[in-house]
Structure 1
Amino acid sequence: MWRIVAHRLAIAVPTLVLVSMIVFGLQKMLPGDPVLALAGEDQDPHVIATLRHQYHLDRPVPVQYALWVRDLMHGNLGTALRTGVPVTTLIAQKLTVTLQLATFAMVIAVIIGLTAGVLSASNRGRALDHIANIFALSGMSIPNFWLGILLILVVSVHWHWLPSSGYVSPSEDFWLSIKTMIMPAFVLGAALGAQLMRHTRSAMLSVLHADYVRTARAKGLLRTTVIVKHAFRNALIPIVTVLALLFGELLAGAVLTEQVFTIPGFGKLIVDAVFNRDYAVVQGVVLVTALTYIAVNLVADIVYVLLNPKLRRR
């Protein structure tokens, strides 16, 4: 296992370097100048020159990148141009919100996707299989923003069951925080659950026809035991891959869902940073997102080893 971890970490370093170079280079091609926006309406040349020097924008691009990497090695992602708040502070605040939303959404997606996928595969060709496939197709076809708006109209406006939007920290009011997360988490979880259901069904169908499953049935084991203990466990490896990718996607920021429900998460942060030409925030968010994907895939690799004894022997 430690070899796998060391190998993935060795790959992570050049990956992060390449991502940082691409992001730093591409954002320089964006139209507009953040310094002109910060200088105000008068746009005093002295103020503009001072701001460019303060944020190292008067240096060549390679020098700017080298200075950013130097600060990054010391744990400094820079300062937001608009607010003057350290980027690490902004990311810590928004990542906490998105992590809570992503966790809720993944719980809903796992409950819906795994249950529907296993039931669909074990009842192939029957009514339950057709119902599950209709659900999966509907979940992948319905836009998140439309489902979110519909839930707000029905659940919040007409029934008055849940808050329509906003975010409350669990430290302030735990139960209100849960209530504000239910609808956006369901919107994201339903779409991800539909994708997960299709992958689970495919993995289960390939396993249910294996020789060891037929042997388990021939021994007279209960159908539930064969499906859960023998088939589902061996179908988990491709499912874990999908779960890792979906969770990384959620942590990267569900932009539309966060905008509909006015949740101040990663998605809203990156959108505002791009519109404001806030280079430091964009760089920091993208770098943390890449690091999140690497960490989630590393966890998935470790889970592979725990699930598959053959990998442990190797």
Structure 2
Amino acid sequence: MLRIIANRVLVAIPTLILVSMMIFGLQKLLPGDPVMAMAGEDQNPQVIAALRVKYHLDEPVPVQYVLWVRDVLHGNLGSSLRTDVPVTELIAQKLPVTLQLAVMGMIVAIGIGIPAGILSAASKGGALDYGANILALSGMSIPNFWLGIILIFVVSVEWHLLPSSGYVPPGEDFWLSIKTMIMPAFVLGAALGAQLMRHTRSAMLSVLRTDYIRTARAKGLLRGTVIIKHGFRNALIPIVTVLALLFGELLAGAVLTEQVFTIPGFGKLIVDAVFNRDYAVVQGVVLVTALCFIVVNLFADVLYILLNPRLRRS
């Protein structure tokens, strides 16, 4: 197992290098000059020159990239061009918020998607199958921002059940933190749960057509035992793959939901950074997001090995 994990880590290194080059190169294509915005209305030439020297913007782009990578390897992602706050400090403030939202959204997605997918596959062609597919298509078709606005109006404004927006850290008030995250987590989890349902259904149908399932049924095992113990267990590997991708999608793609519910997470941070042409923050946030993707996929690889012992010999 350790050899397999080491191989995955070695593959991740060139991936991170390529991602860092893309991040650094593409952000240079953003319109505008952040130094001109930082210099204020007077735009004193001496101030502009000093800012360019301070942030190495007077150097050629390849030199800027090398200097940035050198700092990153030392744990320094630079400082915000707008507020002069270290990017690592901003990420440390915002990442736990998005992680909490992503975990709660994933719990909702698993709670909806996996049971619905199993029931749909087990009753293929029946009423449950059609009903689950209709719900899945509805979940994938409804825009997140629209569902979020409707939930705020109904649940918060009309029924007064949950806070409409904002964020409270769990350490400050745990239950209030959970309450403020229930609606945004449901908005994210509903859409991802619909995708998970379709993948679970497909994986289960493939397994339920295999010879060992027919053998288990011929032995007279209970239908539930055949579906869950023999079917779902062997369908887990493709489902784990989807879960890893969906969790990474939650970390990177919760921008609209965070905007609708005024959650100060990664999404709002990167949107503000792009609008303010804050290159250092954009680079740091995207790089950390890419690293999270790699870590999640590495965790999925470990789960593959635990779920299927035959992979340990590969």
TM > 0.5: yes
Partner of residue 182, structure 1: 182
Aligned to 2:16: 16
Contact between 1:148 and 1:257, CA under 8 Å: does it hold in 2? yes
Percent identity reads 79
| Structure-1 residue corresponding to 2:149 | 149
Which position in structure 2 is the counterpart of 1:26? 26
Q: Which amino acid in 2 is paired with 1:158?
A: E
1:296 equivalent in alignment to 2:296: yes
Residue 219 of structure 1, CA deviation: 0.7
2:269 maps to: 269
What are the within-5 Å matches in structure 2 for residues 1-314 of structure 1?
1-314=1-314
C-alpha distance in 1, partners of 2:18/2:43? 36
Q: State the SS of the aligned residue for 2:40.
A: coil
Runs of 4+ off more than 2 Å: none
Q: CA RMSD in A?
A: 0.7
Q: Secondary structure at the match of 1:306?
A: helix
| TM-score (ref. length: structure 1) | 0.99
- Does the aligned pair in 2 maintain the 1:121–1:204 contact within 8 Å? yes
Give unpaired runs (5+ residues) of structure 1: none
**Separation (CA, whole Å) in 1 of partners of 2:250 and 2:89:** 20
SS in structure 1 of the partner of residue 84 of structure 2: coil
Q: Aligned partners of 2:192 and 2:158: how far apart in 1? A: 27
- How far apart are the structure 1 equivalents of 2:280 and 2:47? 20
Distance 2:226 2:110 in 1: 21
- In structure 2, the gaps of 5 or more residues are none
Would the aligned equivalents of 1:80 and 1:281 in 2 still touch at CA under 8 Å?
yes
Q: Distance in 2 between matches of 1:309 and 1:54?
A: 54
* 1:162 Cα deviation after fit: 0.4
- In the aligned structure 1, how far is the partner of 2:189 from the partner of 2:22? 31
> Do the aligned residues in 2 keep the contact of 1:166 with 1:261 (CA within 8 Å)?
yes
1:51 positional shift: 0.6
Q: What's the CA shift for 1:25?
A: 1.0
Q: Give the distance between the partners of 1:171 and 1:98, measured in 2 at CA.
A: 15
Q: Matches of 1:72 and 1:309 in 2, distance apart?
A: 38
The alpha-carbon deviation at position 206 of structure 1 amounts to: 0.6
Which range moves more in the overlay, 137-146 or 3-12? Answer: 3-12
> In structure 1, the residue corresponding to 2:149 is in which secondary structure?
helix
Q: Deviations over 1:75-113 (max 9, x none)?
A: 000000111110001111111000000000000100100
Q: CA deviation at 1:253?
A: 3.9
Instruction: Report deviation, 1:311.
Output: 0.8
Amino acid across the alignment from 1:228: I
- Deviation string 1:39-59 (CA, Å, 9 cap, x unpaired) is 000101011111111111111
Is the Cα–Cα contact under 8 Å of residues 98 and 253 in structure 1 kept in the other structure? no
Q: Give 3-state SS (helix, strand or coil) of 1:121's partner.
A: helix
Deviations 1:266-293 (A, max 9, x none): 1111111111111111111111111111
Shift of 1:313: 3.0
The offset of 1:309, in angstroms, is 2.1
Deviation, structure 1 residue 184: 0.1
Q: Read off the aligned partner of 1:42 and give its amino acid letter.
A: D
Q: Is the 8 A contact 1:253 1:266 kept in 2?
A: no
